[in-house]
Structure formats: C-alpha cells, structure tokens
Amino acid sequence: MEIKVVEKEHDSLRIELPKGEETLLIPLVEALQAEEKVVEARYFLGHPILDRPTLYLKTKGEKPQQVLKRVLKDLADGYGDTLAAFEKKADKIKA
C-alpha cells in the first residue's frame, strides 16, 4: 500500500492513502480517537475520482507518527486474533 505523507509537523500528521483503501479509515479513526494523546483524528474522502482518501491526526505530548504506529499495530493484532478465532471455528462448521 502506497501511503503519501502530505504534511508533517511536531504535533500533526496528514497522510494520503491509495484510492479504494478508505474502508481502513473508519476503524482507524475510531481507534485513534480513543487514544488519550490524540487531540483530533479525522478523515476526508474528497471527490471519489480525483482525490485520495486523507487521514489527519493531531496529538499532544507524543509524536503523531508514534501514536499512528501503535494504533495500527493494535488494529493488526486485533484483526489477526479475529482471523485465528474464525479459522478455529471454520474447521468445525459443516457445509
């Protein structure tokens, strides 16, 4: 996945995701908003053909890229756990 950093400040970060990857933004922004160090987390979809989905993150007391990395890792771990649980159950399902 090609992610483009559009703006980087000491307390804010704006990144663009590839078109078609906007479904990632909803759980990501919800997880970011639950973080104590996050002041603002939101996304913009813009025009569906002309614009790339954009994530904006503003933090206090911690670099935004550190918060983003931590939250992305937590989400990946959570979805990995869900996949493992499903795989266990899927073997027991009779078609």
Q: Per residue in 5-48, pLDDT tens? A: 999 999 999 999 888 777 888 999 999 999 999 999 999 998 88
| SS3 label, residue 10 | coil
Domains of the chain: 4-92 (3.30.1360.10)
Q: Model confidence over 63-76: pLDDT tens digits?
A: 999 999 999 999 98
Q: Give residue 94's pLDDT band: very low, low, confident or very high (50, 70, 90).
A: low
**Whether 59 contacts 12, CB under 8 Å:** yes
pLDDT band at 81 (very low <50, low <70, confident <90, very high): confident
Closest residue by Cα to residue 41 from 49, 53, 33, 31:
33
One DSSP character per residue, 11-45 reads SEEEEE--TT-GGGHHHHHHHHHTSTTEEEEEEE-
